C-alpha cells in the first residue's frame, strides 16, 4: 500500500512538473508572437503618421482646422466628403 502511494505521488509530481514546463513554454511563445505582431502594427502606424499624414486633415467645421498648414489642407482639397462615395445602385444615393 505504501509503495502504491509513493508511485502515485511520483506520477502526480511528474504531471505537475510537465504542466509547469509546458505551460510556461506556451505562455512565452504566445507572448512573443503577440509582441512581434504589435511591433509590426506600431511600425505601420509610425509610417502612416510620417508619410501619409494628409489623411488626417479634418473638414473645415473641425475646431482645430486652423492648426493644419496650408500644404496639408491643399493635399486633400480634391477629396470629397464620405457621402460622395456612396455606391450609385443604392436608392438613397440619387
Contact 76, 54 (CB under 8 A): yes
- With a CB cutoff of 8 Å and minimum separation 6, the contacts of 47 are none
Choice between 25 and 77, residue whose per-residue pLDDT is larger? 25
In order of 21, 36, 51, 56, the CA distances from 43 in angstroms are 33, 11, 12, 18
- Global confidence as pTM: 0.44
Write out the residue range of the structural domain in which residue 22 sits: 2-93
Give the count of domains, the chain. 1
DSSP annotation of 59 reads P
DSSP designation for 40: H
| Per-residue model confidence as pLDDT tens digits over 8-61 | 999 999 999 999 999 999 999 999 999 888 898 889 888 888 888 777 766 666
Amino acid at each position: 500500500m505504501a509503495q502504491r502511494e509513493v508511485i502515485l505521488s511520483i506520477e502526480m509530481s511528474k504531471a505537475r512538473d510537465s504542466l509547469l514546463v509546458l505551460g510556461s513554454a506556451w505562455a512565452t511563445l504566445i507572448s512573443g508572437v503577440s509582441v512581434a505582431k504589435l511591433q509590426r502594427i506600431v511600425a505601420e502606424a509610425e509610417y502612416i503618421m510620417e508619410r501619409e499624414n494628409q489623411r488626417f486633415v479634418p473638414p473645415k467645421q473641425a475646431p482645430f482646422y486652423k492648426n493644419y498648414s496650408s500644404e496639408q489642407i491643399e493635399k486633400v482639397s480634391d477629396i470629397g466628403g464620405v457621402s460622395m462615395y456612396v455606391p450609385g445602385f443604392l436608392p438613397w444615393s440619387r
